[in-house]
Amino acid sequence: METAEGKKAILGGEFLIRQSEPKEIFIPEEWSEEHKMIAQTCYDFLATEVEPKLEAIDNMEEGLMESLLKKVGELGLLGVSVPEEYGGLGLNFNSSMLAAEALGSGHSFSVAYSAHTGIGTLPILYYGNEVQKKKYIPKLATGEWMACYCLTEPSSGSDANSAKTKAILTDDGKHYIVNGQKMWITNSGFADIFIVFAKIDDDKNLSAFIVEKDMNGIELNAEEKKMGIKGSSTRQVFFKDTKVPAENLLGDRGQGFKIALNILNIGRVKLAAAVLGGMKGTIKDSIKYANERNQFGRPISKYGAIRQKLAEQAIRSYVLESSIYRVSQNIQEAINRLEADGMPKSDAILKGIEEYAAECAMMKVFGSEQLDYVVDEGVQIHGGMGYSAEMRVERAYRDSRINRIFEGTNEINRMLTVDMLLKKAMKGELDLMGPAMKVAEELTSIPDMGGDDDGAFSKERQLVANFKKTVLMVAGSAAQKLTQSLAKEQEILMNIADMAIWAYTAESALLRTMKIVEMKGEGEAADQIAMTRTWLYDTADRIHKAGKDAINSFVEGDEARMMLMGLKRFTKTDGVNVKEARQQVAKTLIDAGKFVY
């Protein structure tokens, strides 16, 4: 558990009670030439194979999506994280995140790619036995076979373990007979392999099965007509006395719910990477249009209202990028440590990701909501043309909306974030109550105003530390006062989750900027400093509002007044000229014609 510097590695959720240093995080400015080549391969594929065919993809031209997936498979991009022994590239977790980001602006293609490489392939890679992996993974890694993931049912969405699909073992013990209905199944229209979740007999928990398309008793409904991602194959799948060989049970009996949860943890952080790619694509389109569209005798990119929008798009992308690669590096380092301790690679990957499950949920929420903001502003920058189906930003706007529902709704993920952190605390894996009690004591003490000469970014670091105190203060008090009933107070849980997300993203952006300054100097990092200070300034108000709403929901009288005073103290920030900061960032974007950070 020691890092190269001899400091104990940060654990999942520990960001709330521990100050990280710039040297402890990975930032995109550190990508190797090999990584940059992987990203460029992805960009080139989108530019040559996907973007010219977006209309045909949305019209679901027969065989088109499958052919694109096979082509990207020929480039090795379906097997980025698949070990070489099974026909993949064998690259690390960070590399797979980069590929997800770089292909993230491909609209429906990106959804098909993510579903196949993630929830379609990983259950077998991480939970399959050796025979299963050798049989299926090489064909999935090259695109010879396509995969889909059958979990959701008409009566079970967020409550996945209530699924009604049944599997009955035959008397001779050689097959399971599967009956049930699945819906919203991505890639189902052309999938060769179905990862199917069902309950064996009257089991409490789900089991998972590898079902092949050619097994009898599989029927598909017509393609769903959807608001967005129209080119993504989405169908209902019916299993009617489907005869599945007993050896196609994936993992152990009753392990299906665990498989589903762990694969979703991966899916959540990968989704955050994919939406980052979508954000950057929309920013590029927005800048291009703003530079070309003339009103009142000059390009609209010359006007402050448009520059404010472009800059804020970039700020949110910069913050998300800082955050997701911080957590992905934490995951990668955990995987490396577990492997070094003798744990098998697939187990180490699952355990490493599970350690940061709360952060994965946070990134899914934050990323999907920032993409919604960016595409909405993209439409606005385009004006009336943004509402026209002729423009790519119209498609981006519609395609974005599903991400707040995919991989568990954002409401569920917010509540999961707090639940996972509190459970870690109750198990003794994370000391939240000790620091929370210290914050409570601090409320009655004389405020430490600090000094002005404590080094570069000292005020920003103190502000981030104070953001964390607000989370500990509200969460600690809520846990003490509401005890078991806190789980039912969804509004309060979502307030706390938002505060935690904003504290994490604020710290991530600050650490990245500090590291860039260390690498290049303040002059080369002027835009990053401007973006970070603007984000912290705005975050203080966001945290204050969420904290105030939460406190007023469960505390009254003098105690409420004391906590509200503390909240005000902890979110107090110096003034920032955000107009000038955004103007500065916008000028860089406009001159470059794209997102350059």
- Distance between CA atoms of 69 and 78, rounded to whole angstroms? 8
Say which residue the tokens 């505060």 belong to. 499
Copy the structure tokens of residue 497. Answer: 């989750």
Strands 147-150 and 193-200: what pairing? parallel
Number of neighbours of residue 482 by Cβ within 10 angstroms: 15
359 in catalytic set? no
Phi, psi of 106 (to 5 degrees): -90, 15
In b/e form, how buried is each residue of 350-363, taking b as 16+ CB within 10 angstroms?
bebbbbbbbbbbbb
User: How long is the chain?
Assistant: 597
Of 283, 277, 370, 271, the residue nearest 319 (C-alpha): 370
Any alpha helices (H) in 385-489, and if so which ranges? 392-400, 410-426, 433-442, 458-482
- Distance between CA atoms of 61 and 511, rounded to whole angstroms? 46
Tell me the CA distances in angstroms from 228 to 194, 233, 277, 405, one per residue in order.
24, 12, 17, 12
Any alpha helices (H) in 458-597, and if so which ranges? 458-482, 490-520, 526-554, 557-570, 578-592
- Distance between CA atoms of 133 and 121, rounded to whole angstroms? 10
Copy the structure tokens of residue 181. Answer: 């209905």
The continuous run of DSSP H or E covering 140 comes out as: helix 130-142
Copy the structure tokens of residue 94. Answer: 């960070």
Task: For 503-517, give the DSSP string.
Answer: HHHHHHHHHHHHHHH
DSSP-based three-state secondary structure for 256: helix
- Distance between CA atoms of 266 and 126, rounded to whole angstroms? 12
- Distance between CA atoms of 421 and 476, rounded to whole angstroms? 11
Catalytic residue among 407, 429, 460, 556: 407
Q: What is the largest CA-CA distance in the chain?
A: 81
Copy the structure tokens of residue 349. Answer: 């990957």
- Distance between CA atoms of 498 and 513, rounded to whole angstroms? 23
Of 461, 345, 323, 468, the residue nearest 26 (C-alpha): 323
Of 245, 241, 240, the residue nearest 210 (C-alpha): 245
Torsion of CA 220, 225, 230, 231, to 10 degrees: 30
In b/e form, how buried is each residue of 3-17, taking b as 16+ CB within 10 angstroms?
eeeeeeebbbbbbbb
Please identify every residue annotated as catalytic.
407
